[in-house]
Amino acid sequence: MIIELERLEIQSRADMEMIDVTAEVDRVVAASGVSAGLVLVMTCHTSSGLIVTEGVECLGRDVLAHLERLAPKQPPKDGCGYWHNRYLDFDGRVGFNAGDHLKSILGGFECAFPIENGAVVRGGRQRVFFVEYDGPLARTVLVQVLGQ
Amino acid sequence: MIIELERLEIQSRADMEMIDVTAEVDRVVAASGVSAGLVLVMTCHTSSGLIVTEGVECLGRDVLAHLERLAPKQPPKDGCGYWHNRYLDFDGRVGFNAGDHLKSILGGFECAFPIENGAVVRGGRQRVFFVEYDGPLARTVLVQVLGQ
Amino acid sequence: MIIELERLEIQSRADMEMIDVTAEVDRVVAASGVSAGLVLVMTCHTSSGLIVTEGVECLGRDVLAHLERLAPKQPPKDGCGYWHNRYLDFDGRVGFNAGDHLKSILGGFECAFPIENGAVVRGGRQRVFFVEYDGPLARTVLVQVLGQ
């Protein structure tokens, strides 16, 4: 059994951003020499996500806008608000990122694909995105290949 | 190590529909001869999903209705709308399926279960559903078994 | 290949509750003797979830409150309601838990992490939570380790 784990270092450039890592995932799988098995892709950060969807720019804008609708950075105006806030060390002030943790939960933080004949098996439209909800930040994404 | 990958060809019959594939997953696992390991189930399409929930018809209606509430086909009336639309080749017109991609992200597109003693280990109420958000269409679901 | 499956028996004490199982997951991985591989964590119940987020109490309150906003126990007042209800055997009355199944779908029911050098690889803030949406109940969470 071959097991390889690679860390992708990603620098997000915006507060919210979708970064296509499909080519990196494919590269790690090819380099592993695994013919059949699976690949696990995971973000290490609880205010970021890992989403598989179609790779068109307009849809990426919709994904970010809609997650912001469903889990807004500003607390919902229902009188309950968010309990969680934190000191934002990159700008020296107390801020809120509860909504960004919630986006991460809704969209997910990891996914797995089969490997067959040395290649990742995915649908023709499926692209793998690291999704920044609370950037810009330096982030780590894991790509693990397991197989033979 | 045994690694088997099978493609289930599924024809959805409605715009939105939950199709129970649990028996197919069980069948692929049994046929693989794997005694211990895991099974990965994944839809190949970004406007469809893979959801695990209780297998009762009334709940299936709630799942589809609620995902439509959270990620509607018609753009939210907040002035932002959806940026994504596409040419629907099955009916020859430009349409919108941004809401269906969003449903897929919220509900997820893959899941994994352990295999023990040659059988999928799942809770008594857990059933595996391919979920169509943008049908009717011919769809492919992957079932991969990995173990010994 | 080493494959170990352990069942965690969890007693939730409230209707909705986040229970940190990270130490249990780490313990199962350490006991397995697996040096490299992956660990799958899964709840067996369709009105509970498995969520990875930061381990701070205020955020846990936000997660539960926000999932209740998005998938409320009381049917949305849009005239459609929920079709699903069930007999609650622990209190002898018919009740509704459609909203709790919906929470489980939104937040997810399983996740996987890589194992490297005998330890689970996760981000510094990532904790693994069993999430009760319909308690108090006796629940089972699976931890499967697969590797070498």
Q: What is the ipTM of this complex?
A: 0.94
Q: Mean pLDDT of all residues in chain C?
A: 93
Which pLDDT belongs to residue A92?
Answer: 62
Beta bridge partners of C49: C131
Query: On the CB side of B122, how many CA atoms lie within 13 Å of its CA?
Result: 24
Q: Which residues of A touch B (CB under 8 A)?
A: 1, 36-38, 51-54, 56, 58-59, 61-63, 65-66, 69-70, 106-108, 111-114, 116, 121-126, 146-148
Confidence of residue B134 (pLDDT cuts 50, 70, 90): very high
A1, A59, A69 member nearest B1 (Cβ): A1
- Distance in angstroms (rounded) separating the CA atoms of residues B6 and A146: 18
Share of chain A above pLDDT 90, in %: 82
Q: Which of B15, B131, B72, B89 has the alpha carbon at shortest distance from A62?
A: B72
Chain C interface, best mutation among A68, A83, A104, A141, by max C CB count within 10 A? A83
* Chains with at least 3 CB pairs less than 8 angstroms from chain B: A, C
Residue A72 has pLDDT above 80, yes or no: yes
Beta strands in B1-148 (DSSP E): 2-11, 17-20, 37-43, 48-53, 86-88, 93-95, 110-116, 119-120, 127-132, 138-147
For chain C, how are helix, strand and coil distributed in percent, rounded to 5? 25, 40, 35
Q: How far is A87 from chain B (nearest CA, A)?
A: 29
Q: How far is A12 from chain C (nearest CA, A)?
A: 17
Specify the pTM: 0.95
- Distance in angstroms (rounded) separating the CA atoms of residues A120 and C65: 38
CB atoms within 10 A of CB C1: 16
**8 A C-beta contact, residue A38 and residue A114:** yes
Residues of chain A with C-beta less than 8 angstroms from the C-beta of B101: 53-54, 59, 62-63
Which pLDDT belongs to residue A86?
Answer: 58
Which pLDDT belongs to residue B73?
Answer: 94
